[in-house]
Structures are given as C-alpha cells and as structure tokens.
A and B are shown apart, each in its own frame.
Chain A
Amino acid sequence: MAIWPALNFTAHNWADVGKDGAAALAGVALISLGMGAIGHAFHYWMSRRNRGGFSVVCAVVAVGLFFGYSLIHDSAAALIARLGLTLAPSLGWLLVLVILSAVVILLRKHEGLQVAATVFCFSAAALALGQLIVTAMSAPTLRAQAPATGEDHLQRVQPNTAGLNVYYMLLDEYSGQAGLREFTDFDNSPFIGEMVRRGFIDATSIDPKDLLSNYLITQQTLASIFALDYTLTEDPQTWREPWRLFPYSVDGAQVPPLIREFESAGYSVWQTFNTWVGCSGRHMRCLGGHGSMDFDYMTMAFVAPTPLGRAAALWLGRRVDGLVAIATHLPILEASRQSRFVFVHSLVTHPPYFLGADCEPRDMSQLDFDAHKHDRKAYVGSVKCANRKVLELVDRISKIDPTAIIVVQGDHGSEFTVNWDQPISSWPDSSIRERGSFLNLIKAPPRCAPWLDRSLAQVNTARFVLGCVRGRSPQYLPQRTYLSSYTKIDGNYVIVPLDRQVAQRN
C-alpha cells in the first residue's frame, strides 16, 4: 500500500524522472519507505494483540485518505459551492474520515474486510507497477545528452573587473502590458511607469508595438536566450535534439554561446536556484542552492495531493525562488570585484501563485496547480507581488551598481484562453496574442541607448546585452515567433512558425 502512490507517480512522470536520474526520486522513496515502516510497526504492534488483519484495513484507509486529500477537498469545495453553503472544504475530508473510521470500527472483526483490504493493496500496487513497466518499455531513452564537443571548457581568461554587470531577471509567465489588460483586465501601467522613471525602456512597444515572444514555452525561450539564436525552428531535426531545450542546453557538455561570450570577456556567470531546474553548476555558478532541482520539486509534486502538499509547496516554492536568492546574495556578489552576468529565474508569477498581491503567503487551501487555467485574480496578485519585489531589487541594485544592465523579462504570457489540446494550426489569434504577450523592460547605460531603437524579444535582448557589454553594435536577428503546444509527438515538441500558422489558418 505504501509503494502504490510512488509507483503511480513514477509512471506518470517517467520522462521527467529521467532528466536528473533516479536520485531525484529519493524524496518520494523516503516518504514511501517511511509510510511502509510506520505501517509495518503498527501491524507488528497490533499483531501482538491479535489484530494484525485490522491494521491492514487501517493502513489502506490511512494511505487512501492521505493521497486522496486534494481530490476529496476539491470535490467538497465544488459541492459546498453548488449548495450555496459557507463551510470549509476540509470539513468534507473530515466527514469522509469519520465515515470511513466508523465503517472500519463497525466491521473490525469481519474477516471479509481484512481480505478486501489486502486484495486492494495488491491490486492497486500491481496496476501501478504494470503502468510503470509499460511506460518504461515504451520510452526507454530518457536522459538528454548534448553532443560532445571535444573541448571541455574555455581557457581561463583574466578576470574582468571593469565591465558592466548584468542582471537578467526572467519572470516566468509574466505577460506584457497589452496581454494583462486584454486577458486579465489588469492595468500594469503604474508599474511600467515606475520602471521607466528608474531608467528602463519597455522594449516590447517601440517598433513594432506589442511584439510577441520568440517562443511560447519556457524550455524553448530560455534555451534561445542562452543560445543567442532560435534553437528550435521549423526544421524537424531541431525538435529531435533535446539539448536544444533548457535546462539541458545549459547543463550539457557544450558551453552555451551566451555563457561562452561572457566568460571570454572575463565575467563570472551566475544562475539562481529554483524549484523547476535547480542549478547544476556545470557552466554557471549557483546562487541560493546547488544541485538537481528534482529532489525538492519531485517531492513537492508527490505530496501535492496530500494534506502536507500545500504546506510543502508554500515552503519549497517561496524558499528557493530566484528573486529571493538574488536579494539574499547581492552583498556577496557585490563583494566580488569580478564583473558578472547573473541569470535570475523567478516562479513568483507561475502557478500555483504562492504569493498574494502584497507578497503574503496565500491561503494554503486556495493554492491550485491548475490556477493558470482559470484563476485570473491569483495571477494578477502574483504579478503585483513580482512588481513589488522587482522594484525593491532594482532600487538596491541601482544604489550599489548604478551602471548595471538590468533586464526584467517574461518568457511568455498567460494561458487563460489557450486550449493546449487544440492543434496549433487552429489556434485563434486571441490565444496567440495572450500566450505570446511578454514583459520586457531593459535598463542600460546611455551609450547603449541607440541600439534600443526597435522592439526586442528574448533572443535579440540577449544579443543587445552582449553588444552593450562589448561596446559593439548588436547583431540583431530577424524577429520570429515560433508556436508550439505542450503536447509532444514522438516525445518531441512540434514547432510552427507564426507566419505559417497564420497563412494556414487563412
């Protein structure tokens, strides 16, 4: 009974389990072992009182209620809302607990119940194991390996102490002003105004207005930033090479072009830890944590449906966010004389929106991992919180480092109107406008201002930053937007250029 949820979880996330190896499942295994150990100790104790069979029934009910918490809670919330009552949804779970306990106690001497509990354990675990075996057999290749380059790393260069420091803050799922206004009815212009007063330029609305993101999926956008190029294109060969996706692109054997350029200029390159990718430390130094994310993240996802899930999500999600990491480590960075490029990836604006508008922890019973599909209020709250954190951070950085280049950027927009199951070819304009909308605020020294003469999406922003640091005119690429759904075919994303999609639709 204790290993059933772990088997099911592993089967469901087989592709992600492979990203960082089985070690990522250590937390899941520990929880299962702990539950099993408690169950066996309880069985031993009850057996001495001749109640061994009854303990099996208790174990089934306990594990079922533990992992069924979220399901029962959400069902109770829906029922309570439909009945127009004002009760806490957790009462529904308590009611189920009381009913099941009463049934178990009433039938405690019934041999059939003990046999049924044993049969349930073995059936459920066998079904989950079967699913895991089938999944593993059908997708045996997991780990994405970048092709070897024959060179381990760049030759060490003399540290640069006179370069412009760069803070590249990527706020996951932060829409642009137009997207926020159209799809959440939120006016973000006061924040943009505050940033403009601090010397930022809104780089999505110069020319053309309301530029769309280069990609619609985080893995693709972030990889393109580090590649300084469009890594996935209409060429199907690019879809089949997983090292073109983030975080493989920065954790693989090859040094990504952006990092190579900064290192060759004598910069130190840093990355903040977060619950999505962690920080491998292979090509970048880590801030706020080191290692594979997946221990924290997989454990968090595993316990998500349980009563501990929301607490774990709150604790882990807030503890390791990129904005928190950079704020904490700014004095350490400042103490270093070497010029630096710092990549900050924040999940504050990403579901389940841990923080409210005033950056207060949201009510644990309201956290919802599917909130990106419907909860506009929570999303707007997280945007307000991110605004507050960014303003504080920008003020701190500007005080100690007034010439720093600061980028505050989204990797794509929200997804309230996006139906991921719909083929890309039939996506309406509104879905593309929403998902493609992204924030892009850039602060750079006046000498780089002439190069901010057009709207920039992520790839060209990275090129701008590099050009500004080098003191050379950036080599901009033509602006492109590539569409893709999360639905993969043969394990790969399918990429459609925006202009082709529009032509097909018309």
Chain B
Amino acid sequence: MYLDPGTAGLLVQALFAAIAATLAFFRSARQYVALLFSRLMGRVRSLWRRPPNS
C-alpha cells in the first residue's frame, strides 16, 4: 500500500495554471483581464454604494 505522490493532480493544476500564465504573458490579454476586473470592481462598488430603498 503506497501513497499517491499526487503527480496527476500536479499535472492538472499545472495545466490550468499554465493557461492563466499564458494569458498573463500577453500584454493585450493582461489589459483585457485588468479591464474586466476593474469593471467588475466598479460594479461591486456601485452595488455597495447604492442607497437603501427607504
């Protein structure tokens, strides 16, 4: 009975991390993600600041 070193798990995680890293490698993709993120944050902020209905 031997423990699983978890290589398969590392491989799957590395694959997804590599996709994220590849996107991050390109300036345009980074800018696009930054834009999405800032829009998302803006949306969250606007929700936060919305006055109560009263």
Alpha-carbon distance between A352 and B1 when the two chains are bound, in angstroms: 10
By the criterion CB–CB under 8 Å, are A120 and B3 in contact?
no
* CB nearest to A277 among chain B residues: B1
Q: Identify B24's interface contact among A16, A67, A119, CB under 8 A.
A: A119
* CB nearest to A127 among chain B residues: B13
By the criterion CB–CB under 8 Å, are B5 and A112 in contact?
no
B38 within 8 A of A: no
- Chain B facing A: main interface SS: helix
Alpha-carbon distance between A344 and B43 when the two chains are bound, in angstroms: 67
Nearest-neighbour CB distance to chain B for A317, whole angstroms, equals 10
Please give, as numbers and ranges, the residues of chain A lying within 8 Å of B50 by CB-CB distance: none
By the criterion CB–CB under 8 Å, are B21 and A119 in contact?
yes
Please give, as numbers and ranges, the residues of chain A lying within 8 Å of B30 by CB-CB distance: 112, 115
B27 within 8 A of A: yes
B11 within 8 A of A: yes
A71 within 8 A of B: yes
Given A112-B26, A123-B20: A71 touches B11 (CB 8 Å cut-off)? yes
Nearest-neighbour CB distance to chain A for B23, whole angstroms, equals 8
**Would you list which residues of chain A between 73 and 89 have a CB under 8 Å from chain B?**
none
- Chain A facing B: main interface SS: helix
By the criterion CB–CB under 8 Å, are A123 and B21 in contact?
yes
By the criterion CB–CB under 8 Å, are A64 and B25 in contact?
no
By the criterion CB–CB under 8 Å, are A127 and B24 in contact?
no
Given A12-B6, A219-B1, A301-B2: A124 touches B17 (CB 8 Å cut-off)? yes
Nearest-neighbour CB distance to chain A for B50, whole angstroms, equals 30
Alpha-carbon distance between A481 and B3 when the two chains are bound, in angstroms: 26
Nearest-neighbour CB distance to chain A for B54, whole angstroms, equals 39
By the criterion CB–CB under 8 Å, are A123 and B9 in contact?
no
By the criterion CB–CB under 8 Å, are B24 and A305 in contact?
no
**Would you list which residues of chain B between 1 and 46 have a CB under 8 Å from chain A?**
1-7, 9-11, 13-14, 16-18, 20-27, 30
Given A70-B7, A112-B26, A304-B5: A128 touches B13 (CB 8 Å cut-off)? yes
**Would you list which residues of chain A between 260 and 318 have a CB under 8 Å from chain B?**
276, 297-298, 301-302, 304-305, 309
Q: Identify A131's interface contact among B9, B17, B20, B22, CB under 8 A.
A: B9
B: number of interface residues (CB 8 Å): 24
Given A64-B14, A127-B16: A9 touches B24 (CB 8 Å cut-off)? no
By the criterion CB–CB under 8 Å, are B27 and A112 in contact?
yes
Given A112-B25, A112-B26, A123-B21: A5 touches B2 (CB 8 Å cut-off)? no
Please give, as numbers and ranges, the residues of chain B lying within 8 Å of A304 by CB-CB distance: 5
Please give, as numbers and ranges, the residues of chain B lying within 8 Å of A70 by CB-CB distance: 5, 7
Alpha-carbon distance between A4 and B25 when the two chains are bound, in angstroms: 21
Please give, as numbers and ranges, the residues of chain B lying within 8 Å of A121 by CB-CB distance: 17
* CB nearest to B19 among chain A residues: A123
Alpha-carbon distance between A113 and B27 when the two chains are bound, in angstroms: 10
By the criterion CB–CB under 8 Å, are B20 and A8 in contact?
no
Given A13-B6, A119-B20: A4 touches B13 (CB 8 Å cut-off)? yes
Nearest-neighbour CB distance to chain B for A213, whole angstroms, equals 16
Q: Identify A117's interface contact among B10, B21, B23, B27, CB under 8 A.
A: B21
By the criterion CB–CB under 8 Å, are B18 and A120 in contact?
yes
Alpha-carbon distance between A417 and B12 when the two chains are bound, in angstroms: 29
Nearest-neighbour CB distance to chain B for A394, whole angstroms, equals 27
Please give, as numbers and ranges, the residues of chain B lying within 8 Å of A123 by CB-CB distance: 13, 16-17, 20-21
Please give, as numbers and ranges, the residues of chain A lying within 8 Å of B7 by CB-CB distance: 67, 70-71, 305
By the criterion CB–CB under 8 Å, are A8 and B6 in contact?
yes
Interface string of A58-77 (1 = CB under 8 A from B): 00000010011011000000
Nearest-neighbour CB distance to chain B for A391, whole angstroms, equals 27
Please give, as numbers and ranges, the residues of chain A lying within 8 Å of B2 by CB-CB distance: 301, 351-352, 369
By the criterion CB–CB under 8 Å, are B1 and A8 in contact?
no
Alpha-carbon distance between A314 and B16 when the two chains are bound, in angstroms: 33
Nearest-neighbour CB distance to chain A for B53, whole angstroms, equals 36
By the criterion CB–CB under 8 Å, are A120 and B21 in contact?
yes
Alpha-carbon distance between A16 and B30 when the two chains are bound, in angstroms: 41
By the criterion CB–CB under 8 Å, are B9 and A128 in contact?
yes
Please give, as numbers and ranges, the residues of chain A lying within 8 Å of B10 by CB-CB distance: 4-5, 8, 67-68, 305
Please give, as numbers and ranges, the residues of chain B lying within 8 Å of A124 by CB-CB distance: 13-14, 16-17
13 contacts between A and B (CB under 8 A): A12-B3, A12-B9, A112-B24, A112-B25, A116-B24, A119-B21, A123-B13, A123-B21, A124-B16, A127-B13, A128-B13, A297-B3, A369-B2
